[in-house]
Amino acid sequence: MTEFENRPFALQLSNVYLTILALFCFKLFVKITLNLLTYFYIIKGNRKEAARISAEFYDFGQGQSRRGVFWSELCAPHSELCVLISQGYNVDVRTIDHVTPLHEACLGDHVACARALIDAGANVNATTIDGVTPLFNACLVGSATCTEILLENGANPQTAICQPSPIHEASSKGKSACVEALITWGADVDYDIPHLGTPLFIACTSKQLHCTRKLLDKGANVQKGRFLETPLHAAAAQDCTDVVKALLEYGADVNARNLELKRPVESAPPSSLAEGFLLLYEAMPRQLSQLCRLSIRDCLGQSRLHLIPQLQLPTRLMNFLQYR
Ligand X SMILES: *[C@@H]1O[C@H](CO)[C@@H](O)[C@H](O)[C@H]1NC(C)=O
Indicate the residue among 156 and 206 with the shorter CB distance to ligand X. 156
Binding to ligand X, residues 58-117 (CB under 6 A) = none
Residue (of 138, 213, 141, 221) closest to 182 by Cα position: 138
CB 155 within 8 A of CB 118: no
Least gap, CB of 155 to ligand X (angstroms): 6
> What Cα–Cα distance (Å) separates residue 65 from each residue in 173, 271, 273?
26, 51, 48
Indicate the residue among 12 and 90 with the shorter CB distance to ligand X. 90
Q: Pick from 61, 63, 154, 269: which binds ligand X (CB under 6 A)?
A: 154
Least gap, CB of 125 to ligand X (angstroms): 4
Indicate the residue among 46 and 123 with the shorter CB distance to ligand X. 123
The residue type at 158: Q
Q: Does 156 sit near ligand X (CB under 6 A)? A: yes
Indicate the residue among 35 and 123 with the shorter CB distance to ligand X. 123
Quick check: helix, strand or coil at residue 262? Answer: coil
Least gap, CB of 102 to ligand X (angstroms): 11
Separation CA 21–CA 12 (nearest Å): 14
Q: Does 124 sit near ligand X (CB under 6 A)? A: yes
Separation CA 115–CA 102 (nearest Å): 9
Indicate the residue among 154 and 309 with the shorter CB distance to ligand X. 154
Least gap, CB of 161 to ligand X (angstroms): 14
**What is the rounded (10 degree) CA torsion for 74, 79, 80, 84?**
-60
Least gap, CB of 192 to ligand X (angstroms): 19
Q: Does 149 sit near ligand X (CB under 6 A)? A: no
For 15, list phi and psi in degrees, rounded to 5.
Answer: -60, -40
Least gap, CB of 148 to ligand X (angstroms): 15
How many residues touch ligand X under the rule CB under 6 A: the total is 4
Indicate the residue among 133 and 205 with the shorter CB distance to ligand X. 133
C-alpha 131, offset from chain centre: 13
Q: Pick from 125, 206, 223, 322: which binds ligand X (CB under 6 A)?
A: 125
Separation CA 161–CA 194 (nearest Å): 8
Separation CA 85–CA 47 (nearest Å): 11
Residues at the interface with ligand X (CB under 6 A): 124-125, 154, 156
